Amino acid sequence: MRRQLAIMRQSLFDQGYLDEQFIELEELQDDANPNFVEEVVTLYFRDSARLILNIQQALERKPFDFNKLDGYMHQFKGSSSSIGANKVKAESTLFREYCRSANAEGCLRAFQQLKKEYATLRKKLEAYFQLARQTGPLETASRPK
Amino acid sequence: MAVNGAVTWLRRAGEMDGYGLSASDTEEVHVLAVDDSHVDRKVIERLLKITSCKVTAVDSGRRALQFLGLEDEKEASNGFDGLKVDLIITDYCMPGMTGYELLKKVKESSVFREIPVVIMSSEKVITRIDRCLEEGAEDFIVKPVKLSDVKRIIDCMTTDLRGGINKRKLRDEGEDRSSSSPTTVDSPTRRLKMTSLEEHVFSSKK
């Protein structure tokens, strides 16, 4: 299971879902704070789900309020960057560019793509942490005293 | 609250008078962290705790001012020793009051202007950085914040503290190494002072 977890983790980086900021967070974990990364990521999913809903609702009101949309996306991009969510961050950047050029079609397209990437990341990270939780205690038990 | 504050202040003053700050000294630095993002607050709090700081994290500039006792343009009374803040680290982009506006309010206060303020921002805009430094910010961190960023800030701060003590000791011994002007928070000046201290350290090792 350890090996499975390591493979899963490595592929998240290889496929560009995560960047080095995720590793920065991993390095902040210790025996006293063994679930720090999962806690931060859980917080991220909670906050970003709300932002996505806000953006969704804002995109249902015509004409688009590009300033408001950009504001929401700025927050979304910020926290995505803080957890190392690489692909999601890239999609956020694209969306913001469309906002700044007041390109409504572009915004809609970029948002669809962003939601897809976000959903994929969420699924992958939830699977990863679930496996990590199962594997964790095993690791401790096998560590020599 | 006031009792705790008095104890902290006395301990700090006692150590400074005795030049007791050794390399291993772990006097806790109290940092006020300001960020509207819950995720970023959690991260900065952890980063600061790992760097052995005491942290108070708030979600807005307004709450930061409330904590300092600076809300509504009123100056803090001396009764806030228990909440003594050694460093403020704030996000730039926040709804309501921006980090820049918070910086200005702190620097305009006769009670709190000496507290170093560090700005964090996801956007590396040179004009923004310059504006913050001109307004008296100690440093500017580009997000996402890393442990090395926080360590650098805290190291600089504690070095400044020791630098101040060493300069006073040198003056007492009759050596006139630096001016006796009060510590300013202007970064270039601070760096100059640190350089003159380093020169002394190197020359004394010959």
pLDDT surpasses 80 at B77: no
Q: pLDDT-derived band of residue A142, with 50, 70 and 90 as boundaries?
A: very low
DSSP string, B7-74: HHHHHHHHHHHTT---TT--PPEEEEEE-S-HHHHHHHHHHHHHTTEEEEEESSHHHHHHHHT-GGGP
Over residues A58-81, mean pLDDT: 96
Chain B positions touching A39 (Cβ under 8 A) are 42
Over residues B110-132, mean pLDDT: 94
Q: pLDDT-derived band of residue B27, with 50, 70 and 90 as boundaries?
A: low
Q: Do B93 and A39 count as a contact with CB atoms less than 8 A apart?
A: no
B42/chain A closest Cα distance in angstroms: 7
Q: What is the Cα–Cα distance from B71 to B131, expressed in whole angstroms?
A: 24
pTM for this prediction: 0.77
Amino acid B161: pLDDT: 65
pLDDT surpasses 90 at A139: no
C-alpha neighbours within 13 Å on the C-beta side of residue A142: 7
Q: Which of B144, B83, B59 is nearest to A20 (CA)?
A: B144
Q: Are B138 and B116 in contact (CB under 8 A)?
A: yes
Chain B positions touching A47 (Cβ under 8 A) are 37-39
User: Between B172 and A109, where is the model more confident?
Assistant: A109
Q: How far is CA B64 from CA B8, B32, B40, B56, B153, in A?
A: 21, 7, 16, 9, 20
pLDDT surpasses 60 at B176: no
Residue numbers of A between 50 and 89 with CB closer than 8 Å to B: 74-75, 77-79, 81-84
ipTM entry: 0.91
User: Between B190 and A13, where is the model more confident?
Assistant: A13
Q: What is the Cα–Cα distance from B141 to B121, expressed in whole angstroms?
A: 6
Q: Which of A21, A27, A36 sits opposite B144 (nearest CB)?
A: A21
Mean residue pLDDT across chain A: 92
Amino acid B162: pLDDT: 63
pLDDT surpasses 50 at B169: yes
pLDDT surpasses 90 at B15: no
Specify the range with the lowest mean pLDDT, choosing from A27-31, B123-127, B179-183: B179-183
pLDDT tens, A80-138? 999 999 999 999 999 999 999 999 999 999 999 999 999 999 999 999 999 999 887 43
Amino acid B58: pLDDT: 97
pLDDT tens, A47-56? 999 999 999 9
Cross-strand partners of B31: B55, B87
Instruction: Give the three-state DSSP class for A3.
Output: helix
Mutation target to probe the B interface, by most B beta carbons within 10 A, among A23, A24, A26, A36 is: A24
Copy the structure tokens of residue B7.
């104890």
Q: Are B144 and A81 in contact (CB under 8 A)?
A: yes
User: Between A34 and B11, where is the model more confident?
Assistant: A34
pLDDT surpasses 60 at B6: no
Q: Which of B39, B47, B122 sits opposite A44 (nearest CB)?
A: B39
Q: pLDDT-derived band of residue B165, with 50, 70 and 90 as boundaries?
A: low
Mean residue pLDDT across chain B: 75
Distance between start and end Cα atoms, chain A? 22
Amino acid B158: pLDDT: 81
Q: Are A79 and A102 in contact (CB under 8 A)?
A: no
Looking at residue A61, the DSSP 8-state letter turns out to be S
Amino acid B157: pLDDT: 84
Q: pLDDT-derived band of residue A14, with 50, 70 and 90 as boundaries?
A: very high
Q: Do A77 and B122 count as a contact with CB atoms less than 8 A apart?
A: yes
The continuous run of DSSP H or E covering B140 comes out as: strand B139-142
Q: Are B106 and B113 in contact (CB under 8 A)?
A: yes
pLDDT surpasses 50 at B81: no
Amino acid B193: pLDDT: 34
Q: What is the Cα–Cα distance from B70 to A131, expressed in whole angstroms?
A: 48
User: Between B70 and B79, where is the model more confident?
Assistant: B70
pLDDT tens, B99-118? 999 999 999 999 999 999 99
pLDDT surpasses 80 at B16: no
Classify burial at A21, counting beta carbons within 10 Å of its beta carbon; exposed 0-12, middle 13-18, buried 19 or more: buried
Copy the structure tokens of residue A19.
């960047």
Q: Which of A33, A43, A81 sits opposite B144 (nearest CB)?
A: A81
Q: Among residues of chain A, what percentage have pLDDT more than 90? A: 90
Over residues A6-32, mean pLDDT: 96
Q: What is the Cα–Cα distance from A12 to A16, expressed in whole angstroms?
A: 6
